[in-house]
Amino acid sequence: MKRIGFVSTRVAGTDGVSLETYKWCQVLERNGYKCFFFAGELDTPADRSLVEPLAHFEHPDVAAIGRNIFGSRKRDRKTTSKIHEISEHLKEQLYRFCAQFKLDLLIPENALAIPMNIPLGMAITELVAETGIPAIAHHHDFSWERKRFLINAVQDIIQYAFPPSLPTLKHVVINSEASRQLSFRRGISNVIIPNVFDFASPPPGSNSDARKLRKELGFDENDCMVLQPTRVVPRKWIERAVELVSLMGQGKPRLVVSHGSGDEGDEYAERVLEYARRLGVEVLYVGDRISSIRCFQEHESAMYTMDDVYQAADLITYPSAYEGFGNAFLEAIYFRKPVIVNRYSIFVEDIEPCGFDVIAFESFVTRRIVDHVKRFLEPKHLAVSTKKNYELGKRFFSYEVLERKLLPLIESF
């Protein structure tokens, strides 16, 4: 069982699902597996990829279905027919994908968890049911975790395909709460595999691009560059990072945000800018010039990588109200940077017990927290805490942890 096919809506860019797909692929290929990819958008090697536009949640026909079925409890006959029509087409393409690359096993990446593309979830479910092909569904977030999916006209489909319960399908989730909810709501057993990072390969000690980036953004050697390394979406609570920078009392209070808005629009990004202006903080959105080197394809138009921006930063803010796990937290630990983090529920249950030395707060930032930040940034304390955090990351969230959990799951087939 050496030929594995990843199936998703997209495997491109630096969203969490694409990054974790890349990490799983790296671990699998260094253990002798060969990986292939099916999605509506792909940054993956062309000779191992099958692009099907209708698999993307942004395809006009798929997006139209979403507008008709979410926010309503009844769907019309035309919508039902369209869902089945697209699903049949996608299933044919999935059959082609399996045959073309002679696949032994499928790994649907979040495509059987969150109903961004209803026809794709149906197609994968029916393919696995009809062929009995071994499959491992990697779930990042479920429909019940997102308000916009709670009122819908496709509860019948969500019940059987998001996720399905099939004899040859095994389930992986990324946190303890998701594991409990999947068992409680669907009676489906599952394995917890957290997000990981390649802690066995530490970052280089010196980075000229990081120094260049700091200079371009107007930071002197003695300035504290505060970085928010996330997308600009409401659940990231970027206002809390703005408040922190305001309270720190720097000469030129600025917050650097490394990502754009993604697929959720620009309204929140404008709201953050307006809020920052009220507090006298300059927000620098630099997502258009930052790419990741830890993904399938580096974007040639980008001037810098996420490695550069992390190494340029002095303090990482992670004030999210909710996260499925916390990729940015692991990245900050990997680059040995101090982190200020809101104690979101998954952090409290799955990350905090590991013993990381971070600056944690409960929902809002106070001057006491800012005083803690200043003490934390003292060189003697900083060196000890970041070294400790790196070792804990290696112990609990490394590629080697992924190998120990994922490979036996595959071999169990």
Alpha carbon distances (Å) from 127 to 91, 102, 162? 6, 15, 14
Contact 172, 190 (CB under 8 A): yes
Please check whether residues 42 and 168 belong to one and the same domain. yes
Contact 190, 173 (CB under 8 A): yes
204's CB contacts (< 8 A; 6+ apart) are: none
pLDDT of res. 293: 73
Please check whether residues 147 and 263 belong to one and the same domain. no
Phi, psi of 38 (to 5 degrees): -130, 125
Please indicate, yes or no, if residue 42 is contained in any of the structural domains: yes
Kindly give the pairing relationship between strand 135-139 and strand 226-228. Answer: unpaired
Please check whether residues 218 and 168 belong to one and the same domain. no
Please check whether residues 97 and 149 belong to one and the same domain. yes
Please check whether residues 56 and 148 belong to one and the same domain. yes
Check which CATH number belongs to the domain holding 79 and give it.
3.40.50.2000
In degrees, rounded to 5, the angle at the alpha carbon of residue 158 between the alpha carbons of residues 152 and 412 is: 155
Please indicate, yes or no, if residue 201 is contained in any of the structural domains: no
Please indicate, yes or no, if residue 376 is contained in any of the structural domains: yes
Strand partners, 282: 254
Please indicate, yes or no, if residue 107 is contained in any of the structural domains: yes
Please indicate, yes or no, if residue 325 is contained in any of the structural domains: yes
**Could you tell me the pTM of the whole model?**
0.92
pLDDT of res. 291: 79
Helix ranges, 6-144 (H) = 16-29, 60-69, 77-100, 118-131
Q: In the numeric block, which tokens belong to residue 323? A: 């996260």
User: What's the rounded Cα separation, in Å, for the pair 409 and 191?
Assistant: 9
Please check whether residues 131 and 274 belong to one and the same domain. no
Where in the sequence is the domain holding 319, given as residue range(s)? 208-396
Please check whether residues 364 and 403 belong to one and the same domain. no
Please check whether residues 274 and 171 belong to one and the same domain. no
Please check whether residues 390 and 407 belong to one and the same domain. no
Please check whether residues 355 and 378 belong to one and the same domain. yes
pLDDT of res. 329: 95
pLDDT of res. 82: 98
CB atoms inside a 10 Å sphere around CB 310: 22
Please check whether residues 178 and 253 belong to one and the same domain. no
DSSP characters over 163-202: S---TTEEEEESSHHHHHHHHHHH----EE----B-TTSP
Please indicate, yes or no, if residue 202 is contained in any of the structural domains: no
Please indicate, yes or no, if residue 109 is contained in any of the structural domains: yes
pLDDT tens track for 181-238: 999 999 999 999 999 999 999 988 778 889 999 999 999 988 999 999 998 999 999 9
List own/partner pairs for 84-90 with CB under 8 A and 24 or more apart.
Answer: 84/119, 84/122, 86/54, 86/61, 86/62, 86/119, 87/118, 87/119, 87/120, 87/122, 87/123, 87/126, 88/123, 89/54, 89/119, 90/52, 90/54, 90/55, 90/119, 90/120, 90/122, 90/123
Number of domains in the chain: 2
pLDDT of res. 301: 58
Please indicate, yes or no, if residue 348 is contained in any of the structural domains: yes
Alpha carbon distances (Å) from 389 to 315, 334, 338? 14, 8, 9
Alpha carbon distances (Å) from 343 to 37, 115, 329? 36, 28, 12
pLDDT of res. 296: 80
In degrees, rounded to 5, the angle at the alpha carbon of residue 10 between the alpha carbons of residues 397 and 21 is: 20
Please check whether residues 368 and 404 belong to one and the same domain. no
Q: In the numeric block, which tokens belong to residue 43? A: 């940054």
User: Tens-digit pLDDT profile for the chain (413 aa)?
Assistant: 799 999 999 998 778 899 999 999 999 999 999 999 999 999 999 999 999 999 999 999 999 999 999 999 999 999 999 999 999 999 999 999 999 999 999 999 999 999 999 999 999 999 999 999 999 999 999 999 999 999 999 999 999 999 999 999 999 999 999 999 999 999 999 999 999 999 999 988 778 889 999 999 999 988 999 999 998 999 999 999 999 999 998 889 999 999 876 656 689 999 999 999 999 999 999 988 887 777 787 555 568 888 999 999 999 999 999 898 989 999 999 999 999 999 999 999 999 999 999 999 999 999 999 999 999 999 989 999 999 999 999 999 999 999 999 999 999 99
Starting at the edge strand found earlier in the chain, the sheet holding 339-342 runs 282-285, 254-257, 226-228, 315-318, 339-342, 359-361
User: What's the rounded Cα separation, in Å, for the pair 244 and 382?
Assistant: 19
pLDDT of res. 227: 97
